[in-house]
A and B are shown apart, each in its own frame.
Chain A
Amino acid sequence: MNTSDLLIARFHGAATMDSTILFKHNRPGRAVTFDEYLANGGFKALRKALAGMSPNDVQQAVIDSGLRGRGGAGFPTGRKWSFVPRNLPGPRYLICNSDEMEPGTYKDRVLLEHNPHLLVEGMALTSFALGVERAFIFIRRGYEQAALNLRNAIAEAHKAGFLGNAICGSGFCLELDVHLSAGRYICGEETALMNALEGIRANPRAKPPFPAVKGLWGQPTVVNNVETLANIPAIIANGPTWFKALAATPEGSGTKLFCVSGHVRDPICLELPIGTPLGEIIDTHCGGMRPGSSFKACIPGGASTPYFTKEHWAVAMDFDPVAKAGSRLGTGGVVVFDQTTCMVAATLNLVRFFARESCGWCTPCREGLPFVRHTLERIEAGRGEASDIDILKEHVHKLNYAFCALAPGAMGPVEGLLRLFEDEVREHITGGKCPLGKH
């Protein structure tokens, strides 16, 4: 067998009718070239901004667009930028967060493997808005192809005068550095990321001071996700009103990458109007469930988000509607489970991940997560006790007091398990075994 046939066997990320921004330029099976990007309107937004807009105009357009961060928390991007004081001496930094280690999430990889130029242009525009002259792209281990694409894209942008000194004949200068990490989920947390970049053990930092005021090497710093930054060129080129109107609902704004995995027929990553209903993503765009499977539950937005069930089929996949329905849009990583899945076992898998990835800095997380893992292990093995349910509930509450968002995130699926599948948990305990015969 030719093993290279298996290399990223399915290079998902094909352009569809809905690919209006992020996957618009995609070519099947390869990255779009610099010339193709340029010929399709690439770097038009940067030229436009440098020719006739002030940094403040760019920031205002992003504020007006309603763009919310795509890294998980959904913070309004333009507002985050506006927290950066413009009058402090010394450099300011922009960091693109491309750590993407939240299980079930692979959208940033697909984006970078198909179109690294969008990120380069988005980072140039953002740096212009913020007055940044040196920006970093922090990439996880395992994304070497994406990093290579980016390094090539940066070199080509340099050659064409879109990076370096006097960009497009203006006074704006920018250097982009690619920093490769070595694999640790906590490095995606923005303050831990800054420590990682500085070469310090990547425990999170206390907030305040917030990165916008005191970040990388103590200087004002903005951290944004890959997908967030890749949206900026389209906002500047087409205007905030156009961007807002792309959403599936009047309240939303823009498109969203959804990366689907698990028991669907076609587990792919695709760009859809933000607010597309969950059921439509699964049925229309992923070919429904795989043969023989029926939908039991899913994780809507990456490993730290509480489950959705069939009752959530019509929920609009946007930040506020998903939060109202009891979960989080998170990263847009949808992991689908069929009727054969034991939800205790699934939750145990997730908690094992978080317990292993705990950075060890604070006690609630370092000690609490292994305890929760152990409790779930006993329940799954049929050795649970009725009191375990209260113990788990207490931990859902108490782990909110941890130092960073990793521990509360870890308890997202546990909270969902207890709220939506308490009967299934109790069946394990009263029956003395996993009712699905998993263990």
Chain B
Amino acid sequence: MIPTQLRQELEERVAQAITPREAAVDVMKGLQGHYGWLTDEAVAEAALILGLSTLQVEELATFYEMIYRRPVGRVVVHVCDSISCWAMGSETLLHHLEQHLGIAAGATTADNAVTLLPCCCLGNCGNGPALMIGDRLFGPVSPEQAAAIIAGHREDQ
């Protein structure tokens, strides 16, 4: 079950849309914000709110890079692995973070605090290597700075 207030917000969003499914990404994001990731229950809730089948929601959920259909940690660190950041050392940055966190890219730390995900260009190419946590873009980040940024977010949680 989701909080009544969230349900109302999402239903209002759907009501403003030209067709309900136009709001699909917003609804999935809202539910992901609540559950931390798009759980099976969240898919069912989204389907109900949007008037779609769960398959139709799944088709969308699995399409987008930033909709998580698997559990993630409380902090998700997206490290850009596209060309400009690659030229500026994103492979070194990612390897350093893997060692620092003790996990492989794609995995979550044992305490469920941090998930490390390589991602597509963040539109921060002049500041490579770049990474994103939540809605915040960072760059250029050295391996040491990246570790400090992640530590800061861990404390905030």
Contacts and interface: CB of A to CB of B under 8 A. Distances in A.
Contact of B84 (A3, A198, A335): A335
B50 A106 contact: no
A336 B88 CA distance: 10
A143 B123 contact: yes
B125 interface: yes
Interface stretch (A124-132, A243-251, A257-265): A257-265
Nearest to B150: A3
B127 A144 contact: no
A202 interface: yes
Nearest to B61: A182
A1 B145 contact: yes
B113 interface: no
Interface stretch (A53-61, A313-321, A346-354): A346-354
A180 interface: yes
20 contacts: A8-B124, A104-B83, A104-B125, A105-B121, A108-B123, A141-B64, A142-B122, A142-B123, A182-B64, A182-B67, A184-B63, A198-B21, A201-B60, A201-B63, A217-B18, A267-B125, A269-B126, A346-B86, A349-B86, A352-B81
B82 interface: yes
B83 A346 contact: yes
A196 B22 CA distance: 8
Nearest to B146: A6
Interface in A216-267: 217, 259-263, 267
A341 B140 CA distance: 19
B145 A185 contact: no
Interface residues of A, number: 61
Contacts of B64: 141, 181-184
A-B complex: 6 closest residue pairs judged by Cβ atoms? A199-B21, A182-B64, A103-B82, A183-B65, A261-B84, A199-B24
Interface stretch (B3-11, B92-100, B104-112, B128-136): B128-136
A9 B127 contact: yes
B116 to A, nearest CB: 17
Interface of B: 18-26, 28-29, 50, 59-60, 63-67, 81-84, 86-88, 119-128, 132, 135-141, 145, 148-149, 152-153
A182 B148 contact: no
B121 A101 contact: yes
B83 A349 contact: yes
Given A104-B121, A184-B64, 13 more contacts: A1-B148, A9-B127, A101-B123, A102-B121, A103-B84, A142-B135, A145-B135, A180-B25, A197-B22, A259-B125, A267-B127, A349-B81, A353-B83
Contacts of B123: 100-101, 105-106, 108-109, 140, 142-143
Contacts of B66: 141, 182-183
A341 B145 CA distance: 25
A199 B121 CA distance: 23
Contacts of B141: 6
Contact of A8 (B82, B86, B125, B139): B139
A108 to B, nearest CB: 8
Contact of B63 (A140, A197, A202): A202
B126 A10 contact: yes
Contacts of A183: 64-66, 119-120
Contacts of A262: 84, 87-88, 128
A365 interface: no
| Residue among A106, A108, A184 having the largest count of chain B Cβ atoms under 10 Å | A106
Contact of A105 (B18, B125, B135, B148): B125
B26 A180 contact: yes
A7 B87 contact: no
A303 interface: yes
B67 to A, nearest CB: 5
A109 B123 CA distance: 7
Q: Which of B23, B29, B59, B125 has the most CB of A within 10 A?
A: B125
